[in-house]
Structure 1
Amino acid sequence: MKSLSILLHGSYNGSNYGDILLAWLIKNIIEEEGVNCILNNASSYFHRILGKSGEHPLRHNLKGVDGVIFGGGGYLTTKKIGIRGYKLLLLTHLVPMLEAKRRNIPYAIVGVGSGPIHDPILQRISKYALNNAKLIILRNQESRDYLRKYNVTNGIKVTADLALAYTPNMIKIEDDIQAERLLATLPKGLRVFLHVNLYNPHGGISDIERGCEILVKELIKYAHDDENIVFIIGSDYESKQCNEINRTLHNMLPSKRSIVIQDYNPWTLSAIINRCDVIITTKLHVGIIATSFGKTVLSFSGDQKIKRFYEQINAGERCIELKSLERGDAYKQLKNFIYAEPINIEAQRELAYESLRFIKEFIKKLQKEPK
């Protein structure tokens, strides 16, 4: 009997931490059901880190595929009005849905964020593609509101971000040992993982970069005022620019109470987060994983999807948008929350587990269909 093959599609063409974890969680479910998982729109780094050896094309055709899962990520949107944003949504994400529909291959859309989609034509294409999906699971209510606005009438389920299903017991021993080794030189104190990848060391131009400048200045002041804090500076993807940012931050912080994680690896990053007490981040999934691991998180957001998450877990006060940050705001936020208790997210975690159950149901239905 021929084993099934499922194409797993997402924003997998880089090394982004959140995208890797979301793909890993879904890939595990697919393979646990005895089904072959084929990664689509995935870089060689992505294949390697998920244990797919050998050479793989960036984009697979759908020949021989029995189903498609469009995995988690906030990609059903045009973040900026312009041709690049339109092309990204249409060519990278909607075209595979349309091709699956044309070939009569069942597809599910799982754990995604959606909206806004600025172009009326793209809204209509999205409506057609999503209304033909067998399953749509969104990670927040705002995404559902956008799709309803675009007349997506297919049954939509709203759960929570799939990454909340990722827990500390999934960290491998060797990754935890590596994290312990990297942190061994730090003195005792409150361990703060510092992740400010939106900072521009050469001067801010955008409102977000200017907000990040304020954040960094007030963070440095707070670091000198509170000598109990030790800093671990790191990134959530491979980037020379991030390495420059991290070195700049390290040079500004007390040298004996801060280290830079030189080499990015998503599994080591998870172990480092688990060994820290507090996470300060400008990105989404570093904050989500830290929250899932029971850590105190302070979010300085550069994207509306981040604010959505903290409001969903009833912690909106722990997330400030960088574009509206004013002098004194960041210092006040640090003073109010750096020693605060973590947020309990067990109710939202159950919703993430529910998403994984929906994926299993989709796979089992494929297995029952005649070939």
Structure 2
Amino acid sequence: MPSKKILIIAEVFSENLGDGVIYESLRNSIIKNHPKYIINKIDLSGNKDWCSHISTSTSTSTSTSTSTILLQKLKKIPILKKIYYTYNWYAKTQKACFPDWVFQIKNSDAIVIGGGQLFTDNNFGFPPKIFDVYRLCKKYKKPLYILGCGVGDHWSLPAKFMYQKVINYARFISVRDESSRKNIFKYTKVNSVTHPDFGFSINRNNLISKENEGSILYLNLQPLEDFKYFVPTLKELTESAYFDFWENIIKVCYCNYQISLITNGHIDDYNVVVRLYNRLLANGYEKVTLQPRATKPDELIEQIKNCNYIISTRMHAGIIAYSLGKCVIPISWDQKVNNVWLEMTNRSDIVLDSSVLNKKLTLSEIESLFNNSIKAQGTNLKNAINTIDEILKNNLTY
């Protein structure tokens, strides 16, 4: 009997490398439980590889073209942002993607939409793409599975129409947290099962890679604009004040830790970190280092292997670190962060609320939070992997 071909559709080549980590974790989990399956992939946003993300430019808005600056400003207006993403998909990207999508879906035995906060409607970026996946699956009579996705709590009417079609067609649905399960049921009355984010299984073959002995502290951060978009109470916070928060952490940790700045790979994140790094050097923090910008998921994982502690705003930098046995302090900029960590640890005291950006953390507070993060860490990781394996083994069959 020939091997079954599984097509995973996800944010495979996203510039935010956390998405690539999710894909690799899902792929490895399927192979572990179904070693005879052949896995192929499609990037949901139409990227073919990481080539477009390789540039290590650190240019900021001062050297960006006027048209690019104008576009970025327009995309901050919610309705214009949705119009932009709708136009970009239907007028540009869809035409380029469809020949490959048709060929791969037509020649696969089953389709998996897998991992990440895909069933959301922040900018209408995902609904039309996922709807097109459904239309092709239906046309070619291919079974569709939705695995480990996050689900937003607000869908516009067009998104609701599209997602309801997709979810009702799916043969099986799992989501990465209880809030996502409730959101799916709220909009569709369809039941789903929960399990931790696939990223927590990235180190499935060696749960705790080595003893976490050392004093290397990584600080992982992203643009303040991300916080402002999701947290209205931070609208007035300036980048200078944002940097004050991070500089205070460095100040209280400077004598006890070797500190390095790191990003998830996105060029916007890297530009912000470079600005912070330059400010730190100007203020006399010469021992702080800057990690090179990772351009592929395995590079990011290798970087995080070298630290012992991480304070992270990007969710999957923290997830990778946790999976490697590191001490982690996640900072939430979106409720999904709290939901995912709660599903994994069954604790609400792991994640710091975004209001912390207006505070000055003390060294004792930071170290207490680090200690909280590793309570039952090994047990949590084993349970997460066992749950994922059981769900895939029993439900990804046809």
TM over 0.5: yes
Runs of 5+ unmatched residues, structure 1:
50-55, 80-84, 177-187, 367-371
Note the alpha carbon deviations across 1:99-154, whole angstroms, 9 max, x for none.
2133221111111111223213422332232122111111111001111111332x
Report SS of the residue matched to 2:310.
strand
Report % sequence identity: 18
Q: 1:310 maps to which residue?
A: 341
CA RMSD of aligned residues (A): 3.3
After TM superposition, the structure 1 = structure 2 runs for residues 237-252 of structure 1, keeping only pairs within 5 Å, are 237-239=265-267, 241-252=268-279
Once the two structures are TM-superposed, the CA of residue 39 in structure 1 deviates from its matched residue by 1.0
Contact kept? 1:7, 1:67, Cα under 8 Å = yes
Q: How far apart, in 1, do the equivalents of 2:143 and 2:393 lie?
A: 14
Q: How far apart, in 2, do the equivalents of 1:47 and 1:33 lie?
A: 30
Q: How far apart, in 2, do the equivalents of 1:35 and 1:47 lie?
A: 28
1:35 aligns with 2:65: no
1:4 aligns with 2:4: yes
Amino acid at match of 1:38: N
1:285 aligns with 2:316: yes
Q: How far apart, in 2, do the equivalents of 1:89 and 1:222 lie?
A: 36
Note the alpha carbon deviations across 1:232-283, whole angstroms, 9 max, x for none.
21111241x3332222222233544221112314223223322212111111
Q: How far apart, in 2, do the equivalents of 1:170 and 1:209 lie?
A: 44
Amino acid at match of 1:318: I
Q: 1:13 to 1:209 in 2, by over 3 A?
A: farther
Q: How far apart, in 1, do the equivalents of 2:356 and 2:251 lie?
A: 21
Contact kept? 1:26, 1:356, Cα under 8 Å = no
| Paired positions, count | 333
After TM superposition, the structure 1 = structure 2 runs for residues 121-140 of structure 1, keeping only pairs within 5 Å, are 121-140=158-177
1:164 aligns with 2:191: no
Runs of 5+ unmatched residues, structure 2:
54-95
Report SS of the residue matched to 1:359.
helix
Contact kept? 1:74, 1:114, Cα under 8 Å = yes
Contact kept? 1:76, 1:117, Cα under 8 Å = no
**Residue 72 of structure 1: which of 83, 101, 115 is its match?**
115
Q: 1:39 to 1:57 in 2, by over 3 A?
A: farther
Q: 2:258 maps to which residue?
A: 230
Q: How far apart, in 2, do the equivalents of 1:211 and 1:138 lie?
A: 35
Q: How far apart, in 1, do the equivalents of 2:35 and 2:178 lie?
A: 30
Amino acid at match of 1:311: L
Q: How far apart, in 1, do the equivalents of 2:261 and 2:97 lie?
A: 34
Q: 1:233 to 1:111 in 2, by over 3 A?
A: same
1:321 aligns with 2:353: yes
Question: Could you tell me the TM-score, scaled by structure 1's length?
Answer: 0.78
1:344 aligns with 2:372: no
Once the two structures are TM-superposed, the CA of residue 11 in structure 1 deviates from its matched residue by 1.9
Contact kept? 2:13, 2:19, Cα under 8 Å = no
Once the two structures are TM-superposed, the CA of residue 338 in structure 1 deviates from its matched residue by 4.7
Report SS of the residue matched to 2:42.
strand
Q: 1:130 to 1:3 in 2, by over 3 A?
A: same
Once the two structures are TM-superposed, the CA of residue 303 in structure 1 deviates from its matched residue by 1.4
